[in-house]
Amino acid sequence: MPTDQFSVEGRNAIVTGASQGIGRTIAERLAADGASVAICSRAQERVDPVAEGIRDDGGRALAVECDVRDREAVDAFVEATVEEFGGVDLLVNNAGGEFVAAFEDISENGWKSIVDLNLHGTFHCTQAAGAHMRAGQGGCIVNVSSVNGQHAAPNESHYSAAKAAIIRLTETLAVEWADDGVRVNCVAPGLIQTPGVADTLGIREESMPARETVDRRIGYTEDVADVVQFLASDAAAFMTGETVTVKGVPRPGNSFDVDLGLE
Ligand SMILES: NC(=O)c1ccc[n+]([C@@H]2O[C@H](COP(=O)([O-])OP(=O)(O)OC[C@H]3O[C@@H](n4cnc5c(N)ncnc54)[C@H](OP(=O)(O)O)[C@@H]3O)[C@@H](O)[C@H]2O)c1
């Protein structure tokens, strides 16, 4: 297979939640490989510098303030992308997050906020961008789930439920939209070093016990971006409905079955 099968050059991509962390690295990676990249976060001032950095490196980027929980804002984001790039054929549903709490301590609002961000945000962006893909030449969607959507995740029941639903949605849409030429795949990262993990879980690389992978390291955002680029490329043309786990060596239990020293 020629190596350019792994390229996303010329694609018009949307990456949600790209002001930092995994989404930022995915956006920078796709742009460096020649994709036009539209990125969003809840604050224009946080997402602007990422787009400026991409443009400084010779890439093409559009930054839009958009809360993925807000359907009207998502529709406007997708329309702005189509207007700027002429279409959209790649969507990375990355925006997501969580807080840690025992199930009995999660308020209704807390539960809804996590499901809204992770699952409904994916629903909004997929419907809005998917309409353009289906009406055009097809496209590719990569959802970002989590290993905590693949197995029990104590103290993350809301997040685990939402991320599990994203995996089922991936499988279902892959079938529903197959005839429209839209591939739908998913990545399920393990513990990845990001600002979100540092803020939410209080985990930093130096505090990582040697537990997570056989090579004794935390995952990096580049580990996830590598797999997203592959799934987005023609090298994955015969893959749809799949969830690719990105967590180092398999091990029993979940990410939080050892003492993380959480405050
Ligand atoms: N890091 C891990 O260990 C890990 C493991 C498994 C799965 N994941 C998943 O990977 C994705 C990225 O995680 P991360 O660790 O990189 O997170 P992060 O560092 O907290 O970054 C989250 C990004 O999403 C944006 N965002 C948050 N809420 C948003 C909203 N309502 N609308 C639009 N953008 C929003 C944030 O930007 P603003 O704050 O500027 O809005 C930020 O750019 C998430 O879906 C997460 O669940 C992460």
What DSSP assignment string belongs to 203-262?
A: --GGG--TTSSTTS--B-HHHHHHHHHHHHSGGGTT--S-EEEESSS--SS-TTSS----
If you measure from the C-alpha of residue 179 to the centroid of ligand 1, how many angstroms do you get, rounded to a whole number?
A: 31
Instruction: Report strand pairing: 60-65 vs 90-93.
Output: unpaired
Which residue CA neighbors atom 45 of ligand 1 most closely?
96
Q: What is the Cα–Cα distance from 253 to 184, expressed in whole angstroms?
A: 27
Assigned domain for 228 exists: yes
Whether 244 has a pLDDT exceeding 80, the answer reads yes
Assigned domain for 63 exists: yes
Cite the active site residues. 159
Question: What is the pLDDT at residue 3?
Answer: 65
Which residue CA neighbors atom 31 of ligand 1 most closely?
67
User: What does the pLDDT look like over 82-118, one tens digit per residue?
Assistant: 999 999 999 999 999 999 999 999 999 999 999 999 9
Whether 12 has a pLDDT exceeding 70, the answer reads yes
Assigned domain for 145 exists: yes
Whether 47 has a pLDDT exceeding 50, the answer reads yes
Assigned domain for 260 exists: no
The stretch 49-58 carries a mean pLDDT of 98
Place of tokens 């879980």: 201
Q: Is residue 2 very low, low, confident or very high in pLDDT (cuts 50, 70, 90)?
A: low
Assigned domain for 258 exists: no
Q: What percent of the chain has pLDDT over 70?
A: 88
Question: What is the pLDDT at residue 208?
Answer: 59
Question: What CATH number does residue 192 fall under?
Answer: 3.40.50.720
Whether 252 has a pLDDT exceeding 80, the answer reads no
Q: Is residue 250 very low, low, confident or very high in pLDDT (cuts 50, 70, 90)?
A: low
The stretch 166-175 carries a mean pLDDT of 98
Assigned domain for 183 exists: yes
Ligand 1 test: best mutation among 15, 42, 93, most atoms within 8 Å of CB? Answer: 42
If you measure from the C-alpha of residue 1 to the centroid of ligand 1, how many angstroms do you get, rounded to a whole number?
A: 34
- Please give the residue range of the domain that contains residue 125: 3-246
The lowest-confidence range among 208-212, 227-231, 246-250 is 208-212
The stretch 238-255 carries a mean pLDDT of 79
If you measure from the C-alpha of residue 112 to the centroid of ligand 1, how many angstroms do you get, rounded to a whole number?
A: 17
Assigned domain for 31 exists: yes
Question: What is the pLDDT at residue 258?
Answer: 39
Assigned domain for 49 exists: yes
Q: What percent of the chain has pLDDT over 90?
A: 83
Q: How many structural domains compose the chain?
A: 1
The stretch 175-187 carries a mean pLDDT of 98
Q: Is residue 260 very low, low, confident or very high in pLDDT (cuts 50, 70, 90)?
A: very low
Average pLDDT across the chain, whole number? 91
